[in-house]
């Protein structure tokens, strides 16, 4: 089973930060070298399609082509594990959901967001049994979703945009894999989940309505590459090279989508045909797109929307200043 594991272990992050006394606060070097500094890079990721370009880079030897000879992709199965490993200094970089990066900053973990990797458009959605067709129709209904996840972020945002809140519905807490199943079995009237569980639910009941998708606010459900501040300060050239390898992988993917999807599906242990709809619902971001939006609309418009939804979901206690954490210098250097 392919899972996008998105439950956020805020307590685990905080504990890990306290345990290692993480207050690095190191500034990024102002002069970034043309070649990457030597040494290994340990990068954490989970089996989510949005991180797939790293698997292509590894499979096609693209890390070596940009001067990186020792990039280790460290696979995790839970958010708690990857969060703790980054906080404890066992990782140099990690691929995480945007609201998780915000939780890192809120917990005092000194990290930089150096790239927007992917945005979900159709791969995260609210689906429902007819006659429910609009978000306002959810008023008074039983809605299944995974608390603390991207699904809750999407639900909070959709409700707020339509003058509602969680108090207007009857929450039914279920893991993403079970939410769609509960809807098909009529145990709930609506569900919030993501691919491949959306496709599974729709295949079992073709009468289901799509009420709201992440595409209504591109970037709301998104993933970013974060690096520890000490790594950013000591090895800025390596970060630039890492970003160049992402772009090289994306170029490969766009030139041969079937082959690229096969590599990614193989890395996460699935048949690419099974994941076709999931792939179609994910948009990968290039470095040029990052140059335009990372410190622009992503920081000034999208992150505030994520913050509002995360606060409403109880994932954040209040506003988080992300202006110093979102760092576009590495992307700028990579696209020169």
Residue-wise pLDDT tens digits, 270-329? 788 878 888 999 999 999 999 999 999 999 999 999 999 999 888 899 999 999 999 999
pLDDT of residue 59: 97
pLDDT of residue 24: 39
pLDDT of residue 22: 44
pLDDT of residue 148: 80
**What is the band of 7 on the pLDDT scale with cuts at 50, 70, 90?**
very low
Residue matched to tokens 């696209």: 335
pLDDT of residue 238: 97
Long-range contacts of 166-170 (CB under 8 A, 24+ apart): 166/312, 166/313, 168/138, 168/139, 168/140, 169/138, 169/139, 169/140, 169/141, 169/142, 169/143, 170/140, 170/141, 170/142, 170/143
Helix crossing, 197-204 with 176-184: angle to 10°?
Answer: 10
pLDDT at 1 over 70: no
User: In the structure encoding, which two tokens stand for residue 319, read together?
Assistant: 């506003």
pLDDT of residue 302: 93
pLDDT of residue 19: 41
Query: What does DSSP assign to residue 326?
Result: B
**What is the band of 30 on the pLDDT scale with cuts at 50, 70, 90?**
low
CA dihedral 155, 157, 163, 164 (to 10 degrees): 30
As a whole number of angstroms, the distance between CA 212 and CA 156 comes to: 12
This prediction's pTM: 0.85
pLDDT of residue 11: 44
For the chain, the C-alpha Rg in angstroms (whole number) is 19
pLDDT of residue 77: 75
Residue matched to tokens 């989510």: 48
Give all strands of the β-sheet with 209-213 in edge-to-edge order: 170-173, 142-145, 190-194, 124-128, 209-213
Q: Smallest Cα–Cα separation from 103: which of 322, 329, 324? A: 322
Point out the least confidently predicted range of 39-48, 116-125, 261-270.
261-270
Length of the chain, in residues:
336
Q: Smallest Cα–Cα separation from 58: which of 47, 48, 49, 69? A: 69
Query: What does DSSP assign to residue 217?
Result: S
Domains and CATH numbers, the chain: 10-120+219-334 (3.40.190.10), 124-216 (3.40.190.10)
């Amino acid at each position: 089973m392919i899972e996008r594991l998105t439950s956020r272990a805020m307590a685990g992050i905080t504990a890990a930060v306290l345990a290692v006394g993480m207050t690095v606060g190191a500034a990024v070097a102002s002069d970034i070298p043309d070649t990457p500094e030597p040494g290994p890079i340990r990068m954490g990721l989970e089996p989510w399609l949005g991180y797939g370009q790293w698997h292509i880079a590894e499979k096609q030897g693209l890390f070596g082509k940009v001067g990186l000879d020792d990039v280790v992709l460290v696979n995790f199965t839970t958010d708690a594990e990857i969060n703790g490993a980054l906080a404890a200094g066992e990782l140099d970089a990690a691929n995480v959901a945007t609201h998780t990066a915000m939780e890192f900053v809120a917990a005092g973990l000194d990290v930089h967001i150096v790239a927007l990797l992917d945005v979900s458009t159709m791969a995260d959605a609210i689906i429902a049994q007819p006659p429910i067709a609009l978000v306002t129709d959810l008023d008074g209904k039983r809605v299944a979703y995974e608390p603390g996840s991207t699904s809750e972020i999407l639900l909070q945002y959709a409700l707020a945009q339509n003058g509602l809140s969680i108090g207007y519905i009857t929450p039914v807490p279920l893991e993403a894999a079970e939410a769609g199943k509960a809807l098909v079995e009529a145990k709930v009237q609506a569900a919030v989940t993501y691919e491949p569980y959306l496709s599974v639910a729709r295949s079992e009941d073709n009468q289901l309505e799509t009420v709201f998708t992440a595409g209504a606010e591109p970037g709301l459900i998104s993933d970013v590459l974060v690096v520890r501040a000490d790594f950013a300060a000591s090895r800025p050239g390596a970060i630039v090279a890492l970003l160049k390898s992402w772009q090289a992988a994306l170029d490969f993917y766009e030139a041969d989508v079937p082959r690229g999807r096969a590599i990614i599906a193989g890395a996460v242990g699935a048949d690419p045909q099974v994941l076709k709809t999931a792939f179609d619902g994910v948009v990968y971001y290039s470095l040029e797109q990052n140059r335009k939006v990372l410190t622009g609309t992503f920081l000034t418009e999208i992150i505030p929307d994520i913050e509002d939804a995360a606060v409403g979901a109880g994932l954040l206690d209040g506003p988080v200043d992300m202006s110093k954490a979102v760092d576009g210098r590495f992307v700028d250097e990579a696209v020169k």
